[in-house]
């Protein structure tokens, strides 16, 4: 029982972090119908900037963090403005989406080269304390991940549903041409979505590399990639779906790993495939994802 | 255009040509004027190029791989055919698109807030209330999803949304489409009221009776070219217009009477 409870907390924490990354994919998809496969590389890039600012240049975490967030946001806007915007006029969203795979590969290669065999830490304030409650022990960093991510998710939803910019973004998601007839600048909506996506990815990245993970190394990108099934499970055009999808992926991963001995027939390391299996099952039942409106086929 | 006095038209389209893709010519040498504070109608059957004309004026041709091949568009004396759609909205040209195109998942109020984006003065106190005064039914349903409104209410929302930008020229694409005759009368009355407050209009219609009732001046487009032009009153009495657009014959038969129209144009 205690084991299950501790896995549920871990899974929810990891899931909330995935949700942050998935939200970035969803918000870009909603604002421009482009699926951003480069999201893992934005996460790696921003997290690397923060980690190297702390580990290699001796800056404090509270300086390194905004530096990494800003760097990823700026890079994301550049990708949008310089590359994706070229496809916008002709609505070639499939080509633009596939191009982001190229961006991902190029960027990851460069970040990997710079990381090399190092394991960089970010100097986050959570340390390696373990909190004990209800007979279980959970790393403080995991609790922080859950709380901070939940807070960011709530703030994001409020922004999307209350602010004028949120109205413009949702109007664009529904009907870009009519939105532009209303004077909404599609380029600005898209650039903002990319900036937000980059910033959210780095927030998530900091928690992924926090204790009990040893730090930032090149294996983190495989973790970040699981945000993609999370976004698709929830529905590419639903922010609520991104949160639900993130939680499902986090929980499935932790539970499959935890009960690994009972699932030996699936082979070792099945937890890494679990999110994708879950995605296939969900898509068979609901092609638009759990909360999606538009089927991903339209991409 | 000589002898019209020194009054410059609010909107002036000169020799406009539009093409979709490489082959399909949608408009050829079209010239249309809208005077300050006037109402001008553009008539024509399906595929005559009416919507294309409005898309060219609003600057949203490229989304359907369309482009201008010639001519110029001036608004209040300034050339606008090179600028982006949002700048044209800010300068005072706002379109109510065909089929209403309200944002179905947004509430009525959020639709109006989206319309406010084009207002050059930005957000101002009471701007929502002005639209609710004109369309009380929208005020009652302000927090309902727009997709749940009836057709007539959606048309009112589409017009109200455009008014949020405080346009000097309202472009209306088939405002009567799919509405019951009674509702059409209401919409026509509301458009008159909006016009009375100083907004010029360019109305595109298949329903010539509605358009000629509303407008002072009208153009008839046929296969992408201006076929007839004149005062609305004169066109109401014009034999060709009556036979083709006021006779109440089904569209296909009408189209067959104009040899050009069966060749087909673009939306």
Instruction: Quick: pLDDT tens for B226-261.
Output: 999 999 999 988 888 887 776 544 444 444 444 444
Strand pairing of B24-34 and B11-20?
Answer: antiparallel
Identify all chain B residues contacting A175, using CB atoms and an 8 Å cutoff: 101, 103
Assess whether pLDDT exceeds 80 at residue B1.
no
Contacts of B246 (CB under 8 A, 6+ apart): B208, B209, B212, B236
**How much of chain A, in percent, has pLDDT values that exceed 70?**
98
User: Measured at the alpha carbon of residue A93, what is the angle toward residues A92 and A96, in degrees to the nearest 5?
Assistant: 90
Residue pair A72/A45 in contact (Cβ under 8 Å)? The answer is: yes
**A116-162 pLDDT per residue, tens:** 888 998 888 887 888 888 888 888 889 999 999 999 999 999 999 99
pLDDT of residue B266: 42
Query: Which pLDDT belongs to residue B140?
Result: 96
Chain B contact set for A178 (CB, 8 A):
97, 101, 103
Q: How many domains does chain B have?
A: 1
Window from A15-29, A169-183, B241-255 with minimum mean pLDDT:
B241-255
Residue A212 preceded by cis peptide, ω within 30: yes
B142 touches chain A (CB under 8 A): no
Q: Are B155 and B187 in contact (CB under 8 A)?
A: yes
For residue A212, the SS3 value is coil
pLDDT level of residue A298 (50, 70, 90 thresholds)? very low
Whether the pLDDT of residue A179 is over 90: the answer is: yes
- CB-neighbour burial class of residue B190 (10 A; exposed 0-12, middle 13-18, buried 19+): middle
In a domain, B4, yes or no: no
pLDDT > 70: percent of chain B: 90
Of B60, B84, B111, the CB nearest to A177: B60
What residues of A are in contact with residue B93 (Cβ under 8 Å)? none
First to last CA, chain B: 29
Query: B123 and B116 in contact (C-beta within 8 Å)?
Result: yes
Say if pTM beats, i.e. exceeds, 0.95.
no
Residue B118 within a domain? yes
Return phi, psi of residue B28, to 5°: -135, 115
Interface check for B167 against chain A (CB to CB < 8 A): the answer is: no
The structural domains of chain A, with segments of one domain joined by +, span 2-225
Residue A294 binned pLDDT confidence (cut-offs 50, 70, 90): low
Residue of B nearest to A162 (CA): B110
Domain range for B127 is 104-166
**Residue B17 domain-assigned?**
no
Taking contacts as CB-CB distances below 8 angstroms, the residues of chain A near B162 are 182
| pLDDT reported for residue B247 | 59
Model confidence pLDDT, tens digit, residues B143-162 = 999 999 999 999 999 999 99
Q: What is the pLDDT of residues B93-129, one digit of tens each?
A: 999 999 999 999 999 999 999 999 999 888 888 889 9
Longest pairwise C-alpha distance within chain A: 59
Whether A183 and B119 lie within 8 Å, measured CB to CB: yes
All residues at 6 or more sequence positions from A78 whose CB lies less than 8 Å from its CB, including other chains: none
Q: Would you state the pLDDT for residue B254?
A: 46
Q: Averaged over A30-38, what is the pLDDT?
A: 92
């Amino acid at each position: 029982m205690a084991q299950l409870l501790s896995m549920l907390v871990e899974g929810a924490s990891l899931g909330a972090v995935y949700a942050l990354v998935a939200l970035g994919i969803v918000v870009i998809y909603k604002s421009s119908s482009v699926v951003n496969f480069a999201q893992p590389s934005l996460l790696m890039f921003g997290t690397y900037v923060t980690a190297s600012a702390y580990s290699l240049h001796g800056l404090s975490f509270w300086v390194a963090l905004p530096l990494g967030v800003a760097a990823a946001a700026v890079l994301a806007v550049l990708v949008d403005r310089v590359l994706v915007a070229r496809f916008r006029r002709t609505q070639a969203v499939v080509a633009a989406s596939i191009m982001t795979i190229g961006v991902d590969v190029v960027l990851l290669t460069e970040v990997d080269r710079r990381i090399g065999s190092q394991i960089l830490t970010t100097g986050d304030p959570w340390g390696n304390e373990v909190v004990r409650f209800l007979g279980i022990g959970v790393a403080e960093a995991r609790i922080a991940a859950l709380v901070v991510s939940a807070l960011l998710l709530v703030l994001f939803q409020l922004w999307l549903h209350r602010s004028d910019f949120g109205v413009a973004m949702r109007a664009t998601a529904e009907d870009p041409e009519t939105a532009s007839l209303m004077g909404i600048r599609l380029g600005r909506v898209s650039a903002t979505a990319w900036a937000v996506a980059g910033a959210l990815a780095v927030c998530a990245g900091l928690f992924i590399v926090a204790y009990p993970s040893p730090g930032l190394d090149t294996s983190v990108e495989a973790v970040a990639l699981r945000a993609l099934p999370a976004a698709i499970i929830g529905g590419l055009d639903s922010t609520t779906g991104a949160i639900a999808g993130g939680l499902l992926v986090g929980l499935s991963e932790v539970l499959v790993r935890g009960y690994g001995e009972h699932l030996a027939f699936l082979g070792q390391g099945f937890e890494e495939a679990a999110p994708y299996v879950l995605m296939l099952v969900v898509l068979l039942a609901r092609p638009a994802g759990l909360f999606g409106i538009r089927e991903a086929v339209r991409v | 255009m000589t002898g019209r006095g020194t009054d410059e038209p609010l909107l002036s389209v000169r020799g406009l040509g539009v093409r979709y893709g490489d082959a399909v010519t949608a408009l050829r040498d079209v010239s249309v004027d809208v005077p300050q504070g006037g109402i001008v109608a553009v008539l024509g059957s399906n595929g005559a190029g009416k919507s294309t004309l409005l898309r060219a004026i609003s600057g949203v041709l490229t989304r359907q791989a369309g482009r201008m091949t010639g001519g110029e568009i001036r608004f209040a004396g300034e050339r606008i055919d090179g600028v982006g759609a949002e700048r044209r909205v800010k300068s005072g040209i706002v379109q109510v698109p065909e089929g209403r195109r309200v944002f179905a998942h947004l509430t009525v109020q959020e639709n109006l807030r989206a319309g406010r984006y084009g207002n050059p003065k930005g957000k101002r106190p009471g701007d929502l209330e002005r639209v609710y005064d004109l369309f009380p039914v929208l005020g009652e349903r302000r927090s309902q999803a727009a997709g749940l409104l009836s057709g007539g209410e959606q048309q009112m929302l589409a017009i109200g949304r455009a008014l949020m930008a405080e346009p000097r020229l309202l472009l209306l694409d088939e405002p009567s489409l799919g509405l019951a005759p009674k509702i059409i009368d209401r919409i026509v009355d509301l458009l008159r009221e909006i016009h009375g407050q100083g907004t010029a209009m360019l109305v595109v219609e298949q329903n010539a009776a509605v358009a000629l009732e509303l407008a002072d001046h009208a153009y008839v487009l046929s296969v992408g070219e201006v076929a007839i032009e004149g005062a609305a009153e004169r066109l109401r009495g014009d034999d060709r217009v009556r036979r083709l657009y006021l006779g109440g014959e089904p569209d296909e038969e009408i189209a067959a009477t104009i040899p050009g129209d069966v060749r087909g144009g673009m939306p």
